[in-house]
Amino acid sequence: MRTLCSMRTFREAPVMIRLAIFKSGILSKLDYGSVVYDSKWHGDQVEIDNGNHHNTKEMFSILQNVHERCPEITYIYDLPLKSVQERPLRVIVFSDNPTEHEPLEPEFKYIGNMHGNEVVGRELLLNLAEYLCNEYKFNNNENIKKLVDNTRIHLMPSMNPDGWEIAAANAWNTTGQQNFPDIKTMLKEEGTTDWTAGRANANGIDLNRNFPNLDEVIYEYNHLANHRNNHLNIETFIALTTGSDCHDNPYQIETVTVAFWIMQSSFVLSANLHNGDLVANYPYDDSELHVKTYSPSPDDPLFQQLAESYSYSHSKMAKSAKPCATDLFQDGITNGANWYPVCGGMQDFNYLASNCFELTLELGCRKFPPGKHLAGLWDDNKDALINFMWQTHLGIKGLINDEDNEPIYNATIKVFQLVNGHWKYIDHDVTSAKNGDYWRLLTDGSYAILVKKSGYETSIKYVDVQNGKDVEAQRVDFTLNSQMSNKRSHIQALLKRLMKKNY
Ligand SMILES: [Zn+2]
């Protein structure tokens, strides 16, 4: 398995073979984490143990326990490729029908611990998994039931499990063993204090600088009329095939696996959880000249609103202008490049390679705080984590079908907003998914929605969006008529309709 998994072999293989390997799932057959977790039960519910940090095996045991307590609404899967040290990149899904996508039900994801020594997100997602299970099944929480029934929620507590283990081992080997009886106690009482050990993956590469640099592509495209503004797939494939990121590092197995996951799923909204400051960061993370400056995406007002939906629901984030006594933020939010430019980040990759809108959430000044602080951190973040998931339901959603009620996949949804009496194009289209379903996150306002697909006549609808709290998006369906390019296809279409009629 080692040779097949090794980055070199994987990277040297032609891209289609790599995709076949990826799709086959053969790299995920290694067993990992089949351990007995000594969790305590409180009645039927999972008792949340948030005074301790959890290593990889404990993390997987918690997910397994949650699944066993709530099998009807959960499903666990691994991404096809494992980390460099062959730890699974494991996901738990919550929904009323967790194993598959349901038409019109939006997909959401949280990814924690991408930087291995930034661990609060990892523990919060374990808490969140236990909380969703308890509230849905045992505490009859109507809001959570509605959220879970109408959203498909993917939680990946750790994208960099190797980095976590490296951070913990480094702390133990340097100072921990002189001061504590065991690693668990060290992590509970002190956490780790090294700012960089375990940040990168096991090959020493920073995963949040290792995604294909699509910002570069979009900045180039922005100079062209009628440029492409979404799903930069071909560019992504080319980038991954040619082999190195914008820092000249080889693409890592964790990055490749997550990149394909993003591109193959129909995620609508996402957050990527980090530590080191306390702020909600939104696109773009880079600017055209790679300098520190405000770098708005076409969805800038929406991204600001999304970031505030987290910062204002968090008990501290929006309240302190200088939360870590270093950088200054207003309302607990920041544009990425206005803070500091990052190239090869995951957040902008989501926006430019898929339909997914992603934020980067910095969840505290300490990267690996003492485990005994985790209960307080959960209290600070709980409402914000829930509220942010509800944002998946902003704006509009609907079905795009042809005249025969067949779904149209990969139709383009273009949005124009009425601003001061003029229609302003939001230069970022989304596309319809396999079932012809689409989602378009929008702020309150008046919009013209234009749906296009080659071979069909373009359709346009006007909608007023008034987002409510904790409710599903407004439904706006489209039927596209096929284009009659000549008399023959016209007659064929008439015949097709006649044959469908019952006399
Ligand atoms: Zn980070």
Q: What's the CA gap between 349 and 214, in Å, rounded?
A: 6
301 or 225: which leads in pLDDT? 301
In the reported structure, the alpha carbon of residue 274 is separated from the centroid of ligand 1 by a whole-number distance in angstroms of 4
**Amino acid, res. 128:** L
Peptide bond into 438 cis (omega under 30): no
Confidence band, pLDDT 50/70/90 cuts, at residue 486: low
Which range, 206-210, 216-220, 322-326, has the best average confidence (pLDDT)?
A: 206-210
Q: What's the CA gap between 316 and 473, in Å, rounded?
A: 29
3-state secondary structure 424-445: EEEEEEEECCCCCEEEECCCCE
Does the structure show a pLDDT above 90 at 17? no
Mean pLDDT along residues 416-445: 97
Q: What's the CA gap between 193 and 460, in Å, rounded?
A: 56
Q: What's the CA gap between 211 and 213, in Å, rounded?
A: 6
pLDDT of residue 22: 44
In the reported structure, the alpha carbon of residue 115 is separated from the centroid of ligand 1 by a whole-number distance in angstroms of 5
pLDDT of residue 50: 73
Q: Which residues contact 360 (CB under 8 A, 6 or more apart)?
A: 271, 272, 274, 280, 281, 282, 285, 336, 345, 346, 347
Does the structure show a pLDDT above 90 at 60? yes
Which one from 107, 235, 358, 362 is the annotated catalytic residue? 362
Mean pLDDT along residues 216-236: 88
Mean pLDDT along residues 183-195: 95
Q: What's the CA gap between 6 and 8, in Å, rounded?
A: 5
Confidence band, pLDDT 50/70/90 cuts, at residue 491: confident
Active site residue 118: no
What does 63-119 look like in DSSP terms, one character per residue? HHHHHHH-TTTEEEEE-SS--TT----EEEEESSSTTSPPTTPPEEEEEE-SSTT--
pLDDT of residue 502: 64
In the reported structure, the alpha carbon of residue 276 is separated from the centroid of ligand 1 by a whole-number distance in angstroms of 7
Does the structure show a pLDDT above 90 at 260? yes
pLDDT of residue 494: 75
Does the structure show a pLDDT above 70 at 425? yes
> What percent of the chain is modeled with pLDDT above 90?
80
pLDDT of residue 496: 76
Does the structure show a pLDDT above 80 at 148? yes
Confidence band, pLDDT 50/70/90 cuts, at residue 2: very low
What's the CA angle centered on 271, arms 265 and 274, to 5 degrees?
130
372 or 489: which leads in pLDDT? 372
In the reported structure, the alpha carbon of residue 343 is separated from the centroid of ligand 1 by a whole-number distance in angstroms of 13
Q: Which residue has the tokens 């959880």?
A: 273
SS3 label, residue 27? helix
pTM here is: 0.89
Mean pLDDT along residues 136-154: 97
Does the structure show a pLDDT above 90 at 75? yes
In the reported structure, the alpha carbon of residue 497 is separated from the centroid of ligand 1 by a whole-number distance in angstroms of 57
Q: In sequence order, what E strands does 392-503 have?
A: 396-402, 412-419, 422-431, 437-440, 445-452, 459-465, 474-475, 478-480
Q: What's the CA gap between 296 and 286, in Å, rounded?
A: 10
Does the structure show a pLDDT above 90 at 408? yes
What does 223-286 look like in DSSP terms, one character per residue? TSTT---S--HHHHHHHHHH-B-TTSPBPPHHHHHHHHHHHHS-EEEEEEEE-SEEEEEES-SS
What element of type H or E holds 185?
A: helix 183-189
SS3 label, residue 460? strand
Mean pLDDT along residues 462-469: 97
List the structure tokens of 104.
């019109």
Q: What's the CA gap between 257 and 458, in Å, rounded?
A: 36
Each domain of the chain, given as residue ranges in start order, spans 24-393, 396-486
Adjacent-strand bridge partners of 271: 110, 359
pLDDT of residue 13: 41
What does 291-350 look like in DSSP terms, one character per residue? SSS----TTHHHHHHHHHHHHTTSSSTTT-SSTTSSS--BTTEEEHHHH---SS-HHHHH
Does the structure show a pLDDT above 90 at 210? yes
The superfamily in CATH containing domain 396-486 is: Carboxypeptidase-like, regulatory domain (2.60.40.1120)
How crowded is the C-beta side of 422, counted as CA atoms within 13 Å? 4
Multiple choice CATH, 24-393, 3.90.230.10, 3.40.50.880, 3.40.630.10, 3.40.50.720: 3.40.630.10
Does the structure show a pLDDT above 90 at 238? no
Q: What's the CA gap between 121 and 436, in Å, rounded?
A: 34
Q: Which residues contact 217 (CB under 8 A, 6 or more apart)?
A: 232, 235, 352
**pLDDT digits 0-9 by tens, 280-324:** 999 999 999 999 999 999 999 999 999 999 999 999 999 988 899
Alpha-carbon torsion 3, 350, 324, 341, what sign?
positive
What element of type H or E holds 364?
A: strand 357-364
Q: What's the CA gap between 303 and 132, in Å, rounded?
A: 26
Does the structure show a pLDDT above 60 at 35? no
pLDDT of residue 45: 63
DSSP H helical segments within 340-395, as ranges?
A: 346-353, 374-390
Q: What's the CA gap between 139 and 134, in Å, rounded?
A: 6
In the reported structure, the alpha carbon of residue 267 is separated from the centroid of ligand 1 by a whole-number distance in angstroms of 22
Mean pLDDT of the chain: 89
Q: Which residues contact 324 (CB under 8 A, 6 or more apart)?
A: 276, 277, 278, 365
> What percent of the chain is modeled with pLDDT above 70?
88
**pLDDT digits 0-9 by tens, 316-349:** 999 988 899 889 999 999 999 999 999 999 999 9
Q: Are 82 and 160 in contact (CB under 8 A)?
A: no
259 or 3: which leads in pLDDT? 259
pLDDT of residue 157: 98
pLDDT of residue 186: 97
Start-to-end CA distance of the chain, whole Å, equals 62
Tell how far CA 228 is from the center of its chain: 22
pLDDT of residue 487: 57
Mean pLDDT along residues 212-221: 92
In the reported structure, the alpha carbon of residue 259 is separated from the centroid of ligand 1 by a whole-number distance in angstroms of 17
pLDDT of residue 23: 44
Q: What's the CA gap between 130 and 497, in Å, rounded?
A: 52
